[in-house]
Amino acid sequence: MNTLAPDITIEASAARPSAQELDRALRAATPHEIIETALKAVGRERLALVSSFGTESAALLKVMADVDPAIPVIFLDTGWLFAETLAYRDTLIDALGLRDVRSIKPLEETLRREDPERDLWFSDPDACCRIRKVEPLSRALAPFAAWLNGRKRFQGGTRADIPVVEEDGSRLKFNPFANATREEIEAIYRDGRLPPHPLVASGYMSVGCMPCTSRTAPDEDARAGRWRGRAKTECGIHTMKTS
């Protein structure tokens, strides 16, 4: 029997428990317990949190910082981000005492070859996301055995049935907020006195890259402003399988 977090135990026949074992053990766990378990399962040097520093990012970063503010945080600086997002990243680093935030950029050689006019977002948004998000993240995750992200089931679409823990190629992928409600996320902001993303006040409920993000109406889903008018709903980092 291998104890990974308070009151959470699993049967483990190998050094690292499987995603299925962890998912069963953590099905009713809190986000704090899930992150704590991930940390104990693989160790700080092998665990990363991937954050967009978007409109709901502070909640997950706050919970992580409460567990261990030195867990590496990967931030994808695509070259198309709002200036407000870059400023918010710096604000949260200071406010939460994050000790290891790594801003990862796409390769200049790839940008020159595949997007020399910076208009790929319009003609082929999937390709744009691939070279600016998916490939950089794949490189950034190379040293890690597991990663944390902020997807939630209440966001709907392809996220409606996500498990708490899943296999991601050779890595474990933890979804600490899979079971969280919108009210629970709001409570983390309120209780932690977390600053909102600067663009929320302007009607942006979900923020990605500038060309593919628009404001949302009060009666729309929070992610309705992402890739508006297209069938696309994900950038690709949550549909890829890393090696």
Residue pair 200/88 in contact by the 8 Å Cβ criterion? no
Residues with a catalytic annotation lie at 235
Tell me the two tokens of residue 162: 């996500």
Q: Which residues of 97-133 are buried (b: 16+ CB within 10 A; e: fewer)?
A: ebeebeebebeeeebeebbeeeebbeeebeebbbbbb
Residue from 158, 162, 175 nearest 226 by CA: 158
Give me the sheet containing 165-168, strands edge to edge. 101-104, 73-76, 47-50, 146-148, 171-174, 165-168
From residue 126, alpha-carbon distances to 62, 145, 232 in Å are 31, 26, 8
Tell me the two tokens of residue 6: 């308070």
**Residue 69, class by beta-carbon neighbours within 10 Å (0-12 exposed, 13-18 middle, 19+ buried)?**
middle
Residue pair 85/58 in contact by the 8 Å Cβ criterion? no
User: Residue 31: helix, strand or coil by DSSP?
Assistant: helix
Element (H, E) at 120: helix 120-123
Q: Please state the three-class secondary structure of 134-145 as a single string.
A: HHHHHHHCCCCC
